[in-house]
Amino acid sequence: MATVTCKYCKKKFDRDKEPYIQIPWGEKAFRYAHAACYLDEVNHGREKQQYTVWDPAIATTCFWCHQAIYPNQADVELVPQLTDRYMHKNCGLAHPADEKEELMVFLIKLFGLKEDYILPKYMIQIQEYIKKYGFSYSGIKKTLIYWYEIKKQPVNEEFRLSIVPRIYNEARRYYEALWNAQQANQVKNIKDFIPQDIEVNIKAPQRQLQKRKLFTFLDEEEINGDK
Each residue's pLDDT tens digit in the chain (227 positions)? 689 999 999 999 998 899 999 998 887 788 999 999 999 999 999 999 999 999 988 888 888 888 889 998 899 999 877 777 889 999 888 876 678 888 888 888 888 876 665 677 888 888 899 888 888 888 999 999 999 999 998 887 666 788 899 999 999 899 888 888 887 777 666 566 566 555 656 566 666 655 555 544 444 444 445 54
| Residues with Cβ within 8 Å of residue 3, at least 6 apart in sequence | 12, 13, 14, 15
In the chain, where the domains are located? 97-186
Handedness of CA 33, 35, 40, 41 (dihedral sign): positive
Provide the whole-model pTM.
0.52
C-alpha distance from residue 25 to each of 13, 31, 90 (Å): 18, 6, 20
Query: Which residues in 67-217 belong to E strands, given as ranges?
Result: 68-69, 76-78, 86-88
CB 38 within 8 A of CB 6: no
What is the Cα–Cα distance from 138 to 98, expressed in whole angstroms? 9
CB 35 within 8 A of CB 53: yes
Q: For position 121, what pLDDT does the model report?
A: 81
pLDDT in tens, 97-114: 678 888 888 888 888 876
What is the Cα–Cα distance from 191 to 166, expressed in whole angstroms? 42
Nearest to 79 by CA among 63, 102, 100: 63
Q: For position 217, what pLDDT does the model report?
A: 43
What is the Cα–Cα distance from 37 to 192, expressed in whole angstroms? 77
Q: For position 9, what pLDDT does the model report?
A: 95
H/E stretch holding 141 reads helix 137-144
Q: For position 209, what pLDDT does the model report?
A: 56
Q: For position 118, what pLDDT does the model report?
A: 65
